[in-house]
Amino acid sequence: MSVTKSYAGDGGYPASYYAATRNIIRTPVKLQGRVETDICVVGAGYTGLATAIHLAEKGNKVTVVEGAQVGWGASGRNGGQIVNGLNVSLSTIRSRFGEDAARFIGGLVQEGGRIIRRLVS
């Protein structure tokens, strides 16, 4: 009889700089028994954790489930930089779409960075 591993194998982080230098070591906890929650978020990457935080801040009881470990997938394999850049410059956007559009898009880029920093803290 063969044993089928999950998509994440044993759930451990793949060898990487990020896994080797993380400052928090966690032991995953398996769900057992009945769990009551308002909302279940599947996946503990950037999107899942941000969603869970936003929902919890609004008073929801949120449960996050992950098949491996927090940040195991793509979220744990990127550089994690907050890059306030666009594919075109704000001056190009300004010349093509006007000052209001350039200000709006520039503001969105800055707001995104602020949201990420708040969530991380």
Taking all residues of the chain, what is their mean pLDDT, rounded to a whole number? 86
64: left (phi over 0), alpha (psi -120 to 50) or beta: beta
Q: Give the DSSP letter of residue 109.
A: H
Hey, CA dihedral for 111, 112, 113, 119, is it positive or negative? positive
Whether 110 has a pLDDT exceeding 80, the answer reads: yes
pLDDT level of residue 4 (50, 70, 90 thresholds):
low
For 98, phi and psi rounded to 5 degrees? 105, 165
Most distant CA pair in the chain: distance in Å? 66
Reported as a single tens digit per residue, the pLDDT across 5-41 is: 566 777 777 777 777 887 777 777 788 899 999 999 9
User: Can you name the residues that pair with 62 across neighbouring β-strands?
Assistant: 39
Reading the block at residue 6, the tokens are 């999950």
Q: Which of 28-32, 41-45, 117-121 has the highest mean pLDDT?
A: 41-45
Rounded Cα distance, 77 and 17, in Å: 9
For residue 26, the SS3 value is coil
The pLDDT > 70 percentage for the chain reads: 93
